[in-house]
Amino acid sequence: MKILYNSLNDSFKRLIYPLLCREFRAKLTSDAEKESVMMFGRNLRQLLLTSPVPGRTLMGVDPGYKHGCKLAIISPTSQILHTDVVYLHCGQGFREAEKIKTLLLNFNCSTVVIGNGTACRETEAYFADLIMKNYFAPLDVVYCIVSEAGASIYSVSPEANKEMPGLDPNLRSAVSIARRVQDPLAELVKIEPKHIGVGMYQHDVSQTLLKATLDSVVEECVSFVGVDINICSEVLLRHIAGLNANRAKNIIEWREKNGPFINREQLKKVKGLGPKSFQQCAGFIRINQDYIRTFCSQQTETSGQIQGVAVTSSADVEVTNEKQGKKKSRTAVNVLLRPNPLDQTCIHPESYDIAMRFLSSIGGTLYEVGKPEMQQKINSFLEKEGMEKIAERLQTTVHTLQVIIDGLSQPESFDFRTDFDKPDFKRSIVCLEDLQIGTVLTGKVENATLFGIFVDIGVGKSGLIPIRNVTEAKLSKTKKRRSLGLGPGERVEVQVLNIDIPRSRITLDLIRVL
């Protein structure tokens, strides 16, 4: 018995117990890794779906000390208007103020975007002081702080070199910072997701699992928002479902050679884009009708007739390969292409027939798509007959009918991201020493982890809301939100619970989501 007892005891201590420990530890590590990757994906989705700030001229500022602050002014269409370097923190800030004022006035720019890297706090204080003194009058200048994570990596990448040839990499960072506010999705997809800096332990988890998850999140976000195929970048096109790097490159080359796409059907002419790929990507491609009309009218005014494209009074576009010259070409191919207002919506070409029958039922026309009168006709028709009855008559599902109704009623250039919060624009600065326990503040979520939420409250150091203070009752159920939990970009109202000035730590309590 003693031999048996010693054998069991030895086998348990030396073999069984270590084996069980390894198995449990491996299971816990695997679960933690999966949760970390999921958290990273949720944060990335929140960040990519941040509301854009269109229609503004922006000044991007990449702060720095010895090498100066890099400036870049971009137009409302993201074109680079001017780049410069100013030295704000080397004893000559008062001299550079006049240069900045001149640039803002010349380009009618009233919004400054400051990166959150080195010298961010000093640069913010510099601009806040000038704004408080009304130095930029008559402009009402505001500023915001944006994460510059990944900007330096992108600035030396082949994509940045191709997009901004001849521009210094440091100035490219300033351009990227400004574009992150103007259209976060279009700019952030250029950066490898793991370098964006939202999440935790991204360098310690399985890189294969992380890449697969983040790539699927990027593709999902880009597809949800949709892309205007006539102005989007090659990098953005790569993330559309059904497209890859080669197909995106072929689309851009076709656009540069033949001019803008008139309708979605022209995608079938692109090399490498077969029926299956077209079926997958067509619903996420948008063709702005105003852009097509403007392009065609400009070409008609300058030449009277576009070489290869002629515009008729009925908004039809005739594409011909007939060459100009003394002798007529032996072969001439005439293809009549009509701009289709449905191409600017989320309606898939496979549902165009159903959409046309629905339009006929409500007495609407294609040229009313996105107009207020279309919304009125749809509402009055739905009041008379229910969704189920209409779907049954059109031989489709209620879900497909709802997508068609949304596509017909949404205004041109509709972007569902506008329902979410925009960046927090400020005119003044608050110091850590100004805070008191019990103070109620508004802030913006910077990052979300499994142990808490980091919130930028404008004092140069993010505060932490412990996860125990984030309860379901405090999360808004009525407001349209990007996910069930808190994530980067969301505005919150918080209360200061504790301040540790020597360690620069702030503990917060969540009051509500704004």
pLDDT in tens, 473-509: 787 665 555 555 678 888 888 999 999 888 889 999 9
Q: Identify the CATH assignment for 58-182 out of 2.60.40.10, 3.40.50.720, 3.30.1490.20, 3.30.420.140.
A: 3.30.420.140
pLDDT bucket at 334, cuts 50 / 70 / 90? very low
Average pLDDT, the chain: 84
CATH superfamily of 432-513: Nucleic acid-binding proteins (2.40.50.140)
Q: Judge whether residue 332 has pLDDT over 80.
A: no
pLDDT at 335: 40
Phi then psi for residue 473, to 5 deg, are: -65, -25
pLDDT at 352: 92
Structure tokens at 254: 């076709």
pLDDT at 92: 74
Start-end of CATH 3.30.420.140 domains in the chain: 58-182
Among 109-118, 288-297, 397-406, the least confident range = 288-297
For helices 207-225 and 17-48, angle between their N-to-C axes, nearest 10 degrees? 20
pLDDT in tens, 371-426: 888 988 998 888 888 888 898 888 999 999 999 999 998 887 788 787 777 777 78
Q: Judge whether residue 305 has pLDDT over 70.
A: no
Start-end of CATH 2.40.50.140 domains in the chain: 432-513
CATH architecture under which domain 207-289 falls = Orthogonal Bundle (1.10)
pLDDT bucket at 247, cuts 50 / 70 / 90? very high
Start-end of CATH 1.10.150.310 domains in the chain: 207-289
Which run of H or of E encompasses 172?
helix 169-182
Closest CA to 396 of 360, 351, 348, 359: 351
Q: Which residue has the tokens 């010298």?
A: 119
Q: Tell me, yes or no, if the pTM score tops 0.75.
A: yes
Q: Judge whether residue 102 has pLDDT over 90.
A: yes
